[in-house]
Amino acid sequence: MVAMQLHWDIFCRVVDNYGDVGVCWRLARQLAAEHGKRVRLWVDDLNSLQPLCPAIDVSLARQACLGVEILHWTETAAIDRVGEVIIEAFACELPAPYLAAMTQTAPRPCWINLEYLTAESWAEGCHGLASPHPSLPLVKYFFFPGFSAATGGLLREKYWLARLAEEVVLPDLHNGLDISLFCYDTAPVGNLLDLLAESSSEIRLHVAPGKPLAAVTTHLGPGVQWQRGKLSVLPFDFLPQDDYDRLLWRCDINFVRGEDSFVRAQWAGKPFVWQIYPQEEAAHLVKLEAFLARYSGGRNTPAANAAVNLARAWNSEGDLRQAWGDFLAARPEIATYNQLWASRLAENRNLAESLVKFCVTKV
């Protein structure tokens, strides 16, 4: 049973509302559903998990949902056992009592530091590297999600392709556009709204709660819904992950942010615009350019340039008006390419499968 590494513990400290916990919750569900693992998800903020999994009770210290045991990670949380695989998500630092318990376990558990997603080439060289603990007889392995076979891949369920074929909505060029908006408060939302309001055809903008809706309200004033010319602005309540995936599938263009929604927009195969998490000294723009270079693959076509330029403008590095116009003009070609891009990414092993196979070799 030890060789099967049946028991997995995932530790998640919430940093940005839903990004970190969104990745961890999706990974935990997949490990349980597709790989038969007994997964415990340790989360320090259940209020951030609850919108993603409405069935949980934020007042409970321990509960189960969709095959995953969920524990509220507090300073006084009891450590009754350690997993055979421990995932320390995004360098969140394991609690000292848990680390101590790991040293008393034989054989030693497989300890993974799951890193943030990046397209930078250096991640391929660092993927899988071992890091001995400076004072304890433990080894931690750095595991990088990514866009190539030299990394751990991206989160993708086995049923993704079948569900996409069944549920994706093909664009209706005569019925206007459906656009989803999920962004940080630094996005030029007001400028986008003004551009959309100038449209000569119907646009339905589906706005996520939180920062996106706050930005819309700041620009358009208080309201429940807004109409500006042929633009309808339609807020939606927070959606569980599977329902959000369906929103991405049925929209014609998706504005996404961070990591989880960014990956899901790529699997949707629709035109998307990514806002990367802002970092000090504009360090995030290096990461943005690394992805754009990998995504465009050196293509110098109007569609490739339009997609790249809009991503830069949305991250405050260009002329949004020009970029939006070019993007709309090239949208059919961008949609076709993004379907091909998703198919290419799917040739790589998915992140959950990569983790399972990697950890087996570390027994």
Domain ranges of the chain: 7-155+348-360, 160-345
Q: Return the CATH number of the domain spanning residue range 160-345.
A: 3.40.50.2000
Please report the pLDDT score of residue 156 as a whole number: 96
In percent, the amount of the chain with pLDDT more than 90 equals 86
| H or E segment to which residue 143 belongs | strand 139-143
- Would the pLDDT of 50 be above 70? yes
Catalytic residue among 20, 178, 289, 353: 20
Give me the mean pLDDT over the 46-54 stretch.
Answer: 94
pLDDT tens per residue, range 149-183 = 999 999 999 887 777 767 665 655 558 999 999 99
- Strand 68-72, strand 177-181: pairing: unpaired
The encoded tokens of residue 143 equal 């595991």
SS3 state of residue 43 = strand
The encoded tokens of residue 29 equal 């569900």
Q: Which parts of 36-135 fold into alpha helices (H)?
A: 46-49, 96-103, 122-126
| H or E segment to which residue 85 belongs | strand 85-89
pLDDT tens per residue, range 80-131 = 999 999 999 999 999 999 999 999 999 999 999 999 999 999 999 999 999 9
Please report the pLDDT score of residue 170 as a whole number: 60
* Per-residue confidence band for 1, with pLDDT thresholds at 50, 70 and 90: very low
- Would the pLDDT of 76 be above 80? yes
Active site residue 259: yes
Please report the pLDDT score of residue 3 as a whole number: 55
Q: Which amino acid type is present at position 273?
A: V
| H or E segment to which residue 8 belongs | strand 7-12
Give me the mean pLDDT over the 215-241 stretch.
Answer: 96
Give the residue carrying structure tokens 């093909």.
170
* Per-residue confidence band for 17, with pLDDT thresholds at 50, 70 and 90: low
Number of other residues whose CB lies within 10 A of the CB of residue 183:
24
- Whether 143 and 91 have beta carbons less than 8 Å apart is answered as no
- Whether 212 and 183 have beta carbons less than 8 Å apart is answered as yes
Domain 7-155+348-360 shares a fold with domain 160-345:
yes
Active site residue 20: yes
* Per-residue confidence band for 318, with pLDDT thresholds at 50, 70 and 90: confident
pLDDT tens per residue, range 264-314 = 999 999 999 999 998 888 889 999 999 999 999 989 999 999 999 999 999
* Per-residue confidence band for 205, with pLDDT thresholds at 50, 70 and 90: very high
Please report the pLDDT score of residue 173 as a whole number: 54
Please report the pLDDT score of residue 283 as a whole number: 87
The length of the chain in residues reads 363
The candidate with the shortest Cα–Cα distance to 168, out of 263, 267, 238, 255, is 267
Q: Which amino acid type is present at position 78?
A: A
Query: What pTM was estimated for this model as a whole?
Result: 0.94
- Would the pLDDT of 214 be above 80? yes
Q: Return the CATH number of the domain spanning residue range 7-155+348-360.
A: 3.40.50
Catalytic residue among 44, 245, 252, 259: 259
- Whether 264 and 244 have beta carbons less than 8 Å apart is answered as yes
- Whether 252 and 202 have beta carbons less than 8 Å apart is answered as no
- Strand 203-207, strand 231-235: pairing: parallel
**DSSP track, 257-280:** ETTHHHHHHHHHTS-EEEEPPP-G
- Whether 358 and 152 have beta carbons less than 8 Å apart is answered as yes
* Per-residue confidence band for 134, with pLDDT thresholds at 50, 70 and 90: very high
d(CA 264, CA 342): 10
Beta bridge partners of 69: 40, 64
* Per-residue confidence band for 18, with pLDDT thresholds at 50, 70 and 90: confident
The encoded tokens of residue 130 equal 């071992």
Please report the pLDDT score of residue 280 as a whole number: 84
d(CA 209, CA 228): 20
